[in-house]
Amino acid sequence: MLSVDELQERIRATLAAHQQQEQEHVPLDQAQGRILAQEMISNVNIPPADVSAMDGYALAEAARADSVFSVIGESIAGKPFEGAVQAGQTVRIMTGAVVPAQCRCVIMQEHVRREADRIVLTKDCREGANIRRTGEELRGGDAVLYVGRCLNAADVLLLASLGIAQVPVFKKLRVAVFSTGDELLAVGETLSREGQIYDSNRAMICALLRRLPVEIVDMGLIADDIEAIKAALTQAGQDCDAVITSGGVSVGDYDFLKMAVEALGEIHTYKVKMKPGKPFVFGKIGRAVYFGLPGNPVSSYVGMNRLVNPALRQMAHAQALPDLVLHLPLNQDLKKGAGRRDFQRGVMQMGAKGWEVGSTSRQDSHRVHGLSSANCLIDLPEEMENPTAGTIVAVHPFFSHFSGGD
């Protein structure tokens, strides 16, 4: 049985040969969330000319308070002043407007007194004040974004500023998802017999996948039949880059997924020293990488969060993200036995002395309400036992709970 770190390293090493290589160009307004496939080079200067950083007056020379200048025109964004500015003269100027070539500084409008067609300075204005120079932020030929970046709204703003309308990105991974289990019923149908439960895991898995640059192939609910499962796996292994299943990866007589994967492909590992989520299958079916998650819903969620999502980002050719970890004091005693790394559902909150964290409720792997109430995972190492209030622990925040979306 592998540790979490050992499994993560094995997955990373295996997936080095399974990164997406195919590229496509997408319109800029569809680029957010996609993975950049080529280095982006600025083809313009930003700003493109010397421009004013303030609303005010462009002066022909630096000047001291009480200096007087004649106003001879104005420069606004998109309509620069076209005349020449002589000593003792000034041009009214707006933020972002081109500074006339003869002007040496811009004084804020709050620092002048306007008297008809002249101004009187109420403060000194030094050489170069309030002027943003040509190419001060970027020069033509500068690299601005690099291969593997997951593009965000600020990147879209930057590319739009450079006039880039089409963006080279890696094609989305095709990820197949299905569940198995005769006890499962599709969400929305009526539970009709004792022991039936809703197929909640597949809905959760697809929700997490929508945050990634992937195309989801939802294959639905597959009956607990070895031949039906083999057929689904074979199709997914031919058509997709990755396959994620939920349920059927334990050691029971009716857990057919593991048997089907072993018959059709290969398994790299089977069990991991992690709670919840001990049964975890990582393997290969056809051309696709295979991830087999346990049927218990919280186990499935933690497996997606800690193992599958980072793996899919690597396959998508995304830059590796640092695993942001906070270290916070517990506000209560926790139950935890030695031997497995335990990811307990927790709630971060502001206490009397700053941020602190505590457990949501009982930590059984079937309790979905506690997971919904959580805003983080409390990461307790294998060797730790029954940490007490005040113990500093590692915490992985769910950023969607704080920002409305990761």
Tokens standing for residue 298: 């919280």
* Together in a domain, 164 and 176: no
Closest of 271, 327, 325, 320 to residue 299, by C-alpha: 271
* Together in a domain, 240 and 122: no
d(CA 388, CA 384): 11
* Together in a domain, 253 and 292: yes
State the DSSP string of 271-289: EBSEES--EEEEEEETTEE
Report how many domains make up the chain: 4
pLDDT 10s digits, 194-208: 888 888 999 999 999
Looking at residue 403, its pLDDT comes to 52
Closest of 249, 258, 244 to residue 205, by C-alpha: 244
pLDDT 10s digits, 377-395: 999 999 999 999 999 999 9
State which residues form the domain around 160: 28-46+137-170
Please give the torsion angle defined by the CA atoms of residues 250, 256, 260 and 263, in that order, rounded to the nearest 10 degrees. Answer: 80
d(CA 347, CA 375): 5
* Together in a domain, 38 and 158: yes
Residue 226 sits in a domain whose CATH number is: 3.40.980.10
Q: Is residue 126 part of a domain?
A: yes
Predicted TM-score (pTM) of this structure: 0.84
pLDDT in single tens digits along all 406 residues of the chain: 889 999 999 999 999 989 999 999 999 999 999 999 999 999 999 999 999 999 999 999 999 999 999 999 999 999 999 999 999 999 999 999 999 999 999 999 999 999 999 999 999 999 999 999 999 999 999 999 999 999 999 999 999 999 999 999 999 999 999 988 888 888 888 888 888 888 899 999 999 999 999 999 999 998 888 999 999 999 999 999 999 998 766 655 446 787 888 899 888 777 899 999 888 889 999 999 999 998 888 999 999 999 999 999 999 999 988 888 999 999 999 999 999 999 999 999 999 999 999 998 765 655 788 888 899 999 999 999 999 999 999 999 987 655 544 3
d(CA 32, CA 403): 17
State the DSSP string of 103-134: --EEEEGGGEEEETTEEEESS-B-TTTTEEPT
d(CA 314, CA 265): 21
In the chain, DSSP finds a helix count (H) and a strand count (E) of 9, 26
Helix ranges, 125-271 (H): 153-161, 200-209, 226-239, 256-264
Scanning the structure block, which residue is given the tokens 């497996």?
303
On the question of a cis peptide bond just before residue 47, with omega within 30 degrees of 0, the verdict is: yes
The count of residues in the chain is 406
Looking at residue 404, its pLDDT comes to 47
| Strand, coil or helix: 80 | coil
Largest CA distance in the chain: 94
358's CB contacts (< 8 A; 6+ apart) are 330, 331, 332, 346, 347, 349
88 Rama sector, left if φ>0, alpha if ψ -120 to 50, beta otherwise: left
Q: Is residue 321 part of a domain?
A: no
Scanning the structure block, which residue is given the tokens 């009526």?
190
Per 3-state DSSP, what percentage of the chain is helix, strand, and coil (rounded to 5)? Answer: 20, 35, 45
Q: For residue 7, count other CB atoms closer than 10 A to its CB.
A: 21
d(CA 10, CA 382): 19
Looking at residue 399, its pLDDT comes to 75
Could you give phi then psi for residue 208, rounded to 5 degrees? -70, -35
Residue 155 sits in a domain whose CATH number is: 3.90.105.10
* Together in a domain, 275 and 207: yes
Residue 61 sits in a domain whose CATH number is: 2.170.190.11
Query: Which 8-state DSSP code applies to residue 110?
Result: G
Q: What is the CA radius of gyration of the chain?
A: 30
Query: Which 8-state DSSP code applies to residue 100?
Result: P
* Together in a domain, 59 and 119: yes
Q: Is residue 320 part of a domain?
A: no
357's CB contacts (< 8 A; 6+ apart) are 328, 329, 330, 331, 346, 347, 348, 349, 376, 378, 393, 395
